[in-house]
Every structure is written in C-alpha cells, then in structure tokens.
C-alpha cells in the first residue's frame, strides 16, 4: 500500500494556505463562479484555479461547469470532518485541564488543613 495522505491530511494541507482559506470563507456564504472568486484576489486567474484545484482534491470544494462558467461550492461534509477532529482535541484538553483543576483544588485543601 502506498503512503497516501488521509482525507483529513488533505483538508488541513489545503487550509494551510491563506488564499485557500479566503476562498473557503467566501464559499461558505454561497456558491460562486471562478471569476467571482478571483475578483478580490491579487493574482492571476490560473493561480486562483490552481488553489481551487487543491481545494477540490481535498474534498472541501466541488465545482461544475455549465457553458463557460465554472461554479464552485463548499462541501460541508468535509469541513465537518475537520471540525469533528478539532472538537475531539479540544474536548481532550478541556478534560485534562478539568482534572488539573481538581488536582490543584486537592492540594489547596491539603494546604488549608495543615495551617
């Protein structure tokens, strides 16, 4: 078996670039054509299309071409997978911090009893 990145790896690699994050942020508001997505960016249309290709290969964005217009939209399911992964890490740290807080309270109680 080849060492291929997981879908989650591809998602985070795609989101590592600020331009791609900006494209995702725009697409969260609704579908847009490639030219609409490229308009506020200070780069060539081929460069924007390369960024969109990375987002599509990661599964974050889907596109369809009707006539000469390619319309892109976000794939919420892939974003949800990344959100779930982040939330699981957050919950682990919250639990650890809660346990630390409880431990510190027991130390404080012990110090109070000795005084």
**pLDDT tens column, 69-103:** 999 999 988 889 889 999 999 888 888 888 888 88
Is-contact 49 90, C-beta < 8 A? no
**Structural domain boundaries in the chain:** 7-114
Q: Is the pLDDT of residue 115 over 80?
A: no
Helix (H, G, I), strand (E, B) or coil at 29: coil
Q: Please check whether residue 81 is in contact with residue 8, taking contact to mean a CB–CB distance below 8 angstroms.
A: yes
Q: Name which of 103, 99, 97, 78 is nearest 7 in CA terms.
A: 78
Answer yes or no: is pLDDT of 1 > 60: no
Average pLDDT over every residue of 32-49: 95
Fold (topology level) of 7-114: Arc Repressor Mutant, subunit A (1.10.10)
Q: What pLDDT is attached to residue 110?
A: 80
Query: What's the pTM value of the predicted model, to 2 decimals?
Result: 0.75
Q: What are the beta bridge partners of residue 37?
A: none
Q: What are the Cα distances from residue 68, in Å, to 9, 33, 39, 43, 48?
A: 32, 10, 17, 21, 16
- Looking at residue 2, its pLDDT comes to 59
Q: What is the mean pLDDT of residues 38-51?
A: 95
């Amino acid at each position: 078996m080849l060492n291929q990145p997981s879908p989650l790896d591809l998602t985070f690699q795609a989101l590592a670039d600020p331009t791609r994050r900006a494209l995702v942020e725009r697409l969260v508001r609704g579908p847009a054509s490639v030219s609409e997505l490229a308009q506020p960016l200070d780069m060539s249309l081929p460069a924007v299309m390369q960024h969109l290709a990375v987002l599509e290969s990661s599964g974050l964005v889907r596109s369809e071409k009707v006539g000469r217009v390619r319309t892109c939209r976000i794939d919420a399911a892939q974003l949800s997978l990344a959100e779930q992964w982040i939330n699981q890490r957050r919950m682990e740290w919250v639990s650890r911090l809660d346990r630390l807080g409880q431990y510190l309270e027991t130390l404080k109680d012990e110090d109070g009893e000795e005084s």
